[in-house]
Chains A and B, each alone.
Chain A
Amino acid sequence: MIHPDTLKKFQAAIGGVQTSEFRDETRAVVPQGAIFQALQVLRDDCGFDLLVDITCVDYLNYRDAVDRFGLVYLLASTTTNERLNVRVFLNEPDLHVPSAVPLWEGANWMEREVWDMFGIRFDGHPDLRRILMPDEFAAFPLRKDYPLQGRGERHNLPVLTRSRS
Chain B
Amino acid sequence: MPLTPSALNAEAAETTDQDYLWTLNFGPQHPATHTTLRIVLKLDGERVVEAIPDIGYLHSGFEKIGEHLDYNQYVTVTDRMNYISPMANNVAWHGAVEKLLGIELTPRCKYLRVIVAELARISDHLLCNGAAGLDTGAFTFFLYAFNRREDIYDIFESVCGARFTNSYTRVGGLMYDANPVFIEKVRTFVRTFPKTLDDMEKLLNRNRIFVDRTKGVGMLSKAEATNRSATGPIARASGVTRDLRKDEPYLAYADFDFKVCCSNGGDCYARYLVRMAEMRESLKIVEQAIEHLPPGPVNVGIDQRTALPGKRQVYSTIEGLISHFELAMSNRGFETPHEESYAAIESPNGELGFYVAGDGSDVAYRARCRPPSYIHFALFPTMIRGHLLSDIVAVLGSLNIIAAELDR
List of B residues within 8 angstroms of A61 by Cβ: 359
List of A residues within 8 angstroms of B407 by Cβ: 132
Give B4-18 interface residues, CB cut-off 8 Å to A.
4, 7
List of B residues within 8 angstroms of A117 by Cβ: 63
Partner of A135, one of B4, B65, B375: B4
CB pair B359–A52 under 8 Å, yes or no, is no
Tell me, rounded to whole Å, the shortest Cβ–Cβ distance linking A5 to chain B.
Answer: 19
CB pair B338–A64 under 8 Å, yes or no, is yes
CA distance in complex: A159, B322 (Å): 54
List of A residues within 8 angstroms of B355 by Cβ: 53, 55, 72, 74
Say which one of A6-14, A33-41, A88-96, A100-108 lies at the interface with B: A100-108
CB pair B378–A57 under 8 Å, yes or no, is no
Interface assignment of B253: CB less than 8 Å from any CB of chain A: no
- Please name the residue on chain A nearest to B2 by beta carbon: A134
- Please name the residue on chain A nearest to B407 by beta carbon: A132
CA distance in complex: A141, B99 (Å): 27
CB pair A81–B227 under 8 Å, yes or no, is no
CA distance in complex: A49, B231 (Å): 12
CB pair B357–A134 under 8 Å, yes or no, is no
CB pair B374–A109 under 8 Å, yes or no, is yes
CA distance in complex: A65, B248 (Å): 31
CA distance in complex: A108, B227 (Å): 11
List of B residues within 8 angstroms of A120 by Cβ: none
Interface assignment of B326: CB less than 8 Å from any CB of chain A: no
CB pair B56–A131 under 8 Å, yes or no, is yes
Tell me, rounded to whole Å, the shortest Cβ–Cβ distance linking A18 to chain B.
Answer: 15
Tell me, rounded to whole Å, the shortest Cβ–Cβ distance linking B62 to chain A.
Answer: 11
Partner of B378, one of A49, A72, A108: A108
A131-B56, A132-B56, A133-B59 are known contacts. Are A63 and B226 too (CB-CB below 8 A)?
no
A63-B359, A81-B248 are known contacts. Are A22 and B370 too (CB-CB below 8 A)?
no
CB pair A130–B1 under 8 Å, yes or no, is yes
List of A residues within 8 angstroms of B144 by Cβ: none
Interface assignment of A148: CB less than 8 Å from any CB of chain B: yes
CB pair A141–B64 under 8 Å, yes or no, is yes
- Flag A150-165 by CB within 8 Å of B: 1 or 0 each: 0000000000100000
CB pair A132–B55 under 8 Å, yes or no, is yes
CB pair B227–A52 under 8 Å, yes or no, is no
List of A residues within 8 angstroms of B365 by Cβ: 57, 62
List of A residues within 8 angstroms of B59 by Cβ: 132-133
- Flag A109-147 by CB within 8 Å of B: 1 or 0 each: 110010011000000000001111111000001100000
CA distance in complex: A64, B365 (Å): 14
Interface assignment of B341: CB less than 8 Å from any CB of chain A: yes
List of A residues within 8 angstroms of B374 by Cβ: 109, 113
Interface assignment of B342: CB less than 8 Å from any CB of chain A: yes
Tell me, rounded to whole Å, the shortest Cβ–Cβ distance linking A113 to chain B.
Answer: 8
List of A residues within 8 angstroms of B63 by Cβ: 117, 142
- Please name the residue on chain A nearest to B240 by beta carbon: A78
Give B344-385 interface residues, CB cut-off 8 Å to A.
344, 351, 353, 355, 357, 359-360, 365-366, 368, 370, 374-375, 377-378
Interface assignment of A50: CB less than 8 Å from any CB of chain B: yes
- Please name the residue on chain B nearest to A27 by beta carbon: B340
Partner of B370, one of A52, A85, A131, A142: A52
CB pair B357–A109 under 8 Å, yes or no, is no
CA distance in complex: A133, B60 (Å): 10
- Please name the residue on chain B nearest to A146 by beta carbon: B64
CB pair B366–A57 under 8 Å, yes or no, is yes
- Please name the residue on chain B nearest to A81 by beta carbon: B247
Tell me, rounded to whole Å, the shortest Cβ–Cβ distance linking B232 to chain A.
Answer: 12
Tell me, rounded to whole Å, the shortest Cβ–Cβ distance linking A151 to chain B.
Answer: 13
Partner of A105, one of B227, B338, B368: B227
CB pair A53–B353 under 8 Å, yes or no, is yes
Tell me, rounded to whole Å, the shortest Cβ–Cβ distance linking B202 to chain A.
Answer: 34
List of A residues within 8 angstroms of B4 by Cβ: 135
CA distance in complex: A64, B370 (Å): 27
Sort A-B residue pairs by CB-CB distance and give the 3 closest, nearest first: A106-B229, A109-B378, A132-B56
Selected A-B contacts with CB under 8 Å, 7 pairs: A23-B100, A72-B342, A72-B355, A81-B247, A135-B2, A141-B61, A141-B64
Interface residues of A (CB under 8 A from B): 22-23, 25, 27, 49-53, 55, 57-58, 61-64, 72, 74, 78, 81, 83, 85, 104-110, 113, 116-117, 129-135, 141-142, 148, 160
Using A63-B338, A104-B229 as known contacts, list a sample of 17 further A-B pairs with CB atoms less than 8 Å apart, ordered by residue number in A. A23-B341, A49-B226, A52-B229, A52-B370, A55-B355, A57-B366, A72-B355, A78-B240, A81-B247, A83-B248, A105-B227, A106-B375, A132-B56, A132-B408, A133-B56, A134-B1, A134-B56
